Amino acid sequence: MAKTRKRPEAEADQSVDMSPMIDLVFLLLIFFIVNANLITVEMDKSVEVPSASNSVQVEDANGRIVINISEDGTVKNDGGQLLESSSAIQDYVENQKLLVDSLGYAPKLHLRGDRRAIFKHSRKVIRAAANAGVEDVHFAAFLKSPGW
């Protein structure tokens, strides 16, 4: 007679233990959260940024040096500190450029000009930034809807 082979009962209720997999997922999540660069730009509420139909959202926000220009031509950094002269603007941009360079990013001037401000104030900031060695300028603008 043929021998019948008995299956052990432990084989019948085998299941995969998911605990290590869940632990691994949480460890990876924590790793990526800790290593992510959180970039926050404090926006001056008094500056009303203009709208443009061809504006695009900046993909890489690293290396931004934010300067706000209000309607009356007042120039402030992203912390709200008043930059009264071209030399003060240049000094601020130079210091921020050194910081950005030390982090390994390319410095970019992020200019937030009020829509009612005249361009000569923006030109003053752009010249001071160029003298500080920052020539990449990004103008802040909201995307204009087609129906506007």
Task: Give the 3-state secondary structure of the chain.
Answer: CCCCCCCCHHHHCCCCCCHHHHHHHHHHHHHHHHHCCCCCCCCCCCCCCCEECCCCCCCCCCCEEEEEECCCCCEEECCCCECCCHHHHHHHHHHHHHHHHHCCCCCEEEEEECCCCCHHHHHHHHHHHHHCCCCCEEECCEECCCCC
**7 in any annotated domain:** no
What is residue 52's predicted lDDT score, i.e. its pLDDT? 82
pLDDT at 41 over 70: no
**108 in any annotated domain:** yes
**128 in any annotated domain:** yes
Q: Which domain holds residue 101?
A: 51-143
**72 in any annotated domain:** yes
Please compute Rg for the chain using Cα positions: 28
**3 in any annotated domain:** no
Higher pLDDT, 54 or 131: 131
In DSSP terms, 138 is beta-bridged to 110
What is residue 59's predicted lDDT score, i.e. its pLDDT? 77
pLDDT at 2 over 80: no
For the chain, the domain total comes to 1
pLDDT at 72 over 80: yes
Higher pLDDT, 86 or 11: 86
CA dist., res. 60 & res. 25, Å (int): 27
Question: Residue 78: which of 29, 42, 119, 123 has the closest Cα?
Answer: 42
Residue 114: which CATH number?
3.30.420
